[in-house]
Amino acid sequence: PAPKPANFLRGIIERDLEQGTYQGRHWNGAPGDAAFQKQGPLDPAKIRTRFPPEPNGYLHVGHAKSICLNFGLARDYGGICHLRFDDTNPEKEEQEYVDGIKDAVHWLGYGWDANGKSHLYQASDYFDFMYRAAEYLIEAGLAYVDEQSPEEMRVNRGDFSKPGVDSPYRSRSIEENLRRFRDMRDGKLADGAAVLRAKIDMASPNINLRDPALYRIKHAEHHNTGDRWCIYPMYTFAHPIEDALENITHSLCTLEFEDQRPFYDWLLDRLSEGGLINTPHPRQYEFARLNLTYVVTSKRKLKALVDQHHVSGWDDPRMPTIVGLRRRGYTPESLQLFAERIGVSKADSWIDYSILEGALRDDLDPKAARAMAVLDPVKMVVTNWDELMGAGHLEPCSAPVHPHDPARGRREFMFGRELWVERTDYEETPPKGFFRLFPGNKVRMKYGYVIECVGATKDANGVVTEIQAKLVPDTKSGTPGADAVKVKGNITWVGVADGVKAEVRLYDRLFSVPQPGAGDKDFVEELNPDSLKVVTAYVEPSLAKAHGDEKFQFERHGYFVADRKDHDAGGRKPVFNRVTGLKDSWGA
Ligand code: ATP
Ligand code: MG
Ligand code: MG
């Protein structure tokens, strides 16, 4: 394979592989444990990464970056990537999201089949170990049960300007801490009545080291462990343990977690001193999250759009979710290409939406079959057709399925007396530089004949209801002498006789500003009111056979996909979504 562009994470991995950082390592996890068995043959020479979503929503394009990064690095260096559900928060998590996330990762081209590409893990499988680790910290004098109110805890934590104040519970005896922690576990305390905290340093300049919470009480049912637990580990405590138990080598996360790294290392150091895990530990490395203009990349905000019915669902084609992008017509390859192009860095920035669309165009251009479609149809009548060709005659025409690949064959359609053309292709009085349909002008009907526009009929409001034209004989494309008549305009069309009526959904950017919610307004107020326009179009007959999810380039118009949900492949109700135009129209 071609060498991939280097980045700082590749540099770290290549250094670790060269220096044998993880050679001779003793693996973590209990060998009899099912969660450990899943890890398969343990080869210390291989890197392990993980993608750890919380199953509290559908994944978005930012997650796609992280998936391509983690699974891509594992693939490129002969390692393994775990898909791990970070399901430590019982209330917001649902099976629907678990299934949606698995689908999304699979669809993006990554797998975890039993024979070893990667495996599926869930943090809740480690609750027993996490509980043991918490008791160990208490026994080592490194954790205590704090029964201050949440408000007292907040105030006493201090801030950047001042050190924190020790909790009165900080000096409890080990025995008392153990007893109270077990009371927490046994359901004797109400939600919020106490938390288990690490005993580190209330004066640390890093607020994350001012005795962070490890466990909290939540009398809530968990989608995996049911009602077995009423205390749940905090993310910051759970995550390093999950990484260690899965023998992850490089734990990649977004920059917000940089300040958590000292605690990540503190916890794993303490647990290995206590013999609970082995060294060398996994290491955390941070990269900049993806911010994409004209959309929001936060599950919480995307969920709000769904819940408030601003979109039709998580898979609305305007959504930057993976299911939404897929329905819009994005391909796995285009998202992989996008991830590769934006790369990874340590600096936060905004990526222009046009980069995403550019990756899609580059992926679809060589693949998508071409087709003609008239999106804003008006009828054109060839008034001398019957006289020249015979009444009712239909003349077969054809065009390549793909202009650069003759092997893909030709599409066929009929030229006749009546054709659909674009309303915008006609002007009674042509502006300067307009070479399309106006009275007295000759144009080529693409893949068909040259015609001369004669005029048009209008209704009482001045709206054109029919265009009239005359056929210029002996000009059929592909026949000898067809080019004798020189024309400047090339018009796309669909025959009235064999054209297929279709619903076409013209999607535009979801938000009308590049950074929704960045200013004074709530992001919802910045939704683009014109992000969807539905039109009735006519498409060439080859499209009647399109199957859901099939992509096309509609000549002149851009890329379109047969809607995976609503398109009827039998041709009874064709529905196409506009994926993107032919050229970048986003601007800066
Ligand atoms: P959100 O705020 O949208 O819910 P999250 O970070 O809370 O995102 P998780 O399910 O916890 O969502 O994320 C799983 C992984 O995806 C994490 O490792 C996280 O760093 C990564 N990730 C999430 N958002 C982005 C993004 N915008 N760019 C790159 N990686 C991201
Ligand atoms: Mg999260
Ligand atoms: Mg988040």
Whether residue 420 is predicted with pLDDT greater than 60 in this model: the reply is yes
Half-sphere exposure of 339 (CA within 13 A, CB side): 23
For residues 98 and 128, give the distance between their C-alpha atoms in angstroms, rounded to a whole number: 22
Which atom of ligand 1 is nearest the CA belonging to 55? 10
- Percentage of the chain exceeding pLDDT 70: 96
What spacing in Å lies between the alpha carbon of 237 and ligand 2's midpoint? 14
Give the pLDDT of residue 119: 72
What spacing in Å lies between the alpha carbon of 41 and ligand 1's midpoint? 29
Which atom of ligand 1 is nearest the CA belonging to 257? 20
Arch. (CATH architecture) of 8-126+235-293+329-341: 3-Layer(aba) Sandwich (3.40)
Q: CB–CB of 95/318 below 8 Å?
A: no
For residues 572 and 153, give the distance between their C-alpha atoms in angstroms, rounded to a whole number: 64
Q: Collect all residues with Cβ–Cβ distance below 8 Å to 394 and sequence separation of at least 6.
A: 414, 415, 416, 495, 497, 498
pLDDT tier, 3 (very low <50, low <70, confident <90, very high otherwise): low
Beta bridge partners of 143: 198
Give nearest CA residue, ligand 1 atom 18.
Answer: 253
Q: CB–CB of 586/353 below 8 Å?
A: yes
- Which of the pair, 59 or 91, is modelled with greater confidence? 59
By CB atoms closer than 10 A (0-12, 13-18, 19+), residue 547 is: exposed
Known catalytic residue: 54? yes
3-state secondary structure of 541: helix
Residues with CB under 6 A from ligand 1: 52-54, 62-63, 65-66, 86, 253-254, 289-290, 297-299
Domain 8-126+235-293+329-341 identical in fold to domain 373-492:
no
Residue 321 DSSP label: B
Q: What is the pLDDT of residues 297-311, one digit of tens each?
A: 999 999 999 999 999
Pick the CATH number of 373-492 from 3.40.50.2300, 3.90.1150.10, 1.10.10.10, 2.40.240.10: 2.40.240.10
Give the pLDDT of residue 38: 77
User: Range with the lowest mean pLDDT among 16-30, 226-240, 315-329, 565-579?
Assistant: 16-30
pLDDT tier, 173 (very low <50, low <70, confident <90, very high otherwise): very high
> At the topology level of CATH, where does 128-233 sit?
Glutamyl-tRNA Synthetase; domain 3 (3.90.800)
Give nearest CA residue, ligand 1 atom 3.
Answer: 298
Which atom of ligand 1 is nearest the CA belonging to 53? 10
DSSP states along 466-507: EEEEEE-TT--TTSTTGGGS--SEEE--EETTT-EEEEEEEE
Hey, where are the domains in the chain? 8-126+235-293+329-341, 128-233, 373-492
What spacing in Å lies between the alpha carbon of 163 and ligand 2's midpoint? 28
What spacing in Å lies between the alpha carbon of 303 and ligand 1's midpoint? 14
ipTM of the complex: 0.96
Would you mind telling me the total number of residues written for the chain in this entry? 588
For residues 548 and 535, give the distance between their C-alpha atoms in angstroms, rounded to a whole number: 19
User: How does the average pLDDT of the chain come out, rounded?
Assistant: 93
Known catalytic residue: 289? yes
Pairing status of strand 418-422 against strand 494-495: antiparallel
pTM: 0.93
In degrees and rounded to multiples of 5, residue 337 shows phi and psi of -65, -40
Which H helix or E strand runs over 291? strand 291-292
Lookup: tokens for 564 = 């995976």
